[in-house]
Amino acid sequence: MSTVIEDVRARKIFNSRGEATIEVEITTIDGFGAASAPSGASKGKAEAIAYPPGGVEEAVRKVEELIAPELIGLNADEQEDIDNILHELDGTKNFMKIGGNTAYAVSLAAADAAANSYGMPLFQYLGGYLACNMPYPLGNVLGGGKHALGKVPDMQEFLVLPIGAPNFIAAAEANIRIHRRVKDLLIRVDPYFTGGRGDEGAWAPNISNEGALEVVSKACEEVSNEIGFKCRVGLDVASSSLWDLNRQRYVYANEGVERDSGEQLEYILGLIKKYNLIYVEDPFHEDDFESFSELTSKVKGCLICGDDLFVTNEERLNAGVSEGAGNAIIIKMNQVGTLTDTWKTTRLAKESGYVPVVSHRSGETTSFHIAHLAVGFGCPIIKTGVAGGERIAKINELVYIEEILGDRARMARIKI
């Protein structure tokens, strides 16, 4: 089979928020691959720059005029060489010239084309025969923050993790049932609830943070009892969105509450204990390694996960590891641009005892590749929503992967 690249094309398409994004197609002698880039609403300041000056149109032009001539004639399976070329063509640390989303689409399309050339599913191409562990789906069932409008919870995501599921499809069904149950409970709590949703398909009610936790916890408990395995609650606080640098306070605007760093620590600790949380993402702002470390040292049985803190960046993760900041990391490929960089960070996380959580973004396309990244890279959790076509695309792809694996499929082990 030949993976020699014959053609590279790019186009502007649209994501789940109706925003423009880039899609790249790569054709080899014996295969074809395509990938499109997602976009986040809350972004870490150390992330790769999404697009060059000029936006998506300029990114498309750069693929066709700058990147394609360098890739045509290369082998698509020479992933590290392709990713190095992207870095060299850009020449900056954070993809300011070609854009991190441009690099993402090209890099992932190359891997997709190589896998297709060999007649292999992408997860197997990335992880080999041993890639047979299915991730647990971490589902956003109720939310606020930057993912919704109006008087919604200040915290960004109220999540569920079906940790006791015997297989992936049972886990996905559990999340869907909890999502529906949350709606039923919200109608009881607020008869004026209209069924509004945020960017990721999570319910977006007029409710306090603790009110939301009460609803999600009750839904989790009820559904767990019905299906016979345990589902637990998690949070994405998205604290960088709450942090006021000038006042040195976390500002919970809808609740009319402000907390300094010490008060934030005690508040999060209290929520973990009261609601038996299994997962807390970004409980502090993106530069507060010290508070992440202190919280991690004080809790047991709960993943303290860095997103804005680490932005899938190997250097920032190294800094976190040295300080004991967190025990889990969000893996979003477009935060660093290339598959090679994403794998390096994921490998460091696993070697350092951190749980890697492959994640979607709030502005998604129907591209399903992160499902393959989760299985191929051996990540035990995938954060990919519950409802909405762009979220279901990833869920259904994991259903297909579990079917492909057959008797070899196993649910991953999560060390907390």
Centre a 10 Å sphere on the Cβ of residue 366 and count the other Cβ atoms it contains. 15
Centre a 10 Å sphere on the Cβ of residue 184 and count the other Cβ atoms it contains. 11
Which member of 43, 183, 332, 383 is catalytic?
Answer: 332
Please say if 200 is a catalytic residue: yes
- Residue/partner pairs of 284-290 with CB below 8 Å, 24 or more apart: 284/239, 284/309, 285/239, 285/240, 285/242, 285/243, 285/250, 286/44, 286/45, 286/46, 286/240, 286/311, 288/261, 289/319, 289/320, 289/323, 289/325, 290/323, 290/325
Which member of 23, 47, 157, 200 is catalytic?
Answer: 200
Centre a 10 Å sphere on the Cβ of residue 50 and count the other Cβ atoms it contains. 24
Enter the tokens of residue 58: 């300029």
Please say if 183 is a catalytic residue: no
Question: What are the backbone angles phi and psi of residue 33, rounded to the nearest 5°?
Answer: -145, 155
**33 residue type, one letter:** G
Say if residues 47 and 100 touch (Cβ distance below 8 Å): yes
Which residues does 359 contact at the CB level (< 8 Å), separation at least 6?
307, 330, 331, 332, 370, 382, 383, 384
Question: Cα–Cα distances in Å, from 365 out to 14, 33, 104, 388?
Answer: 7, 16, 13, 11
Say if residues 263 and 243 touch (Cβ distance below 8 Å): no
Number of continuous H segments (helices) and E segments (strands) in the chain: 13, 16
Cα(327)–Cα(69) distance, integer angstroms: 42
Enter the tokens of residue 11: 């186009």
Enter the tokens of residue 399: 């259903």
Catalytic residues, by residue number, are 200, 332
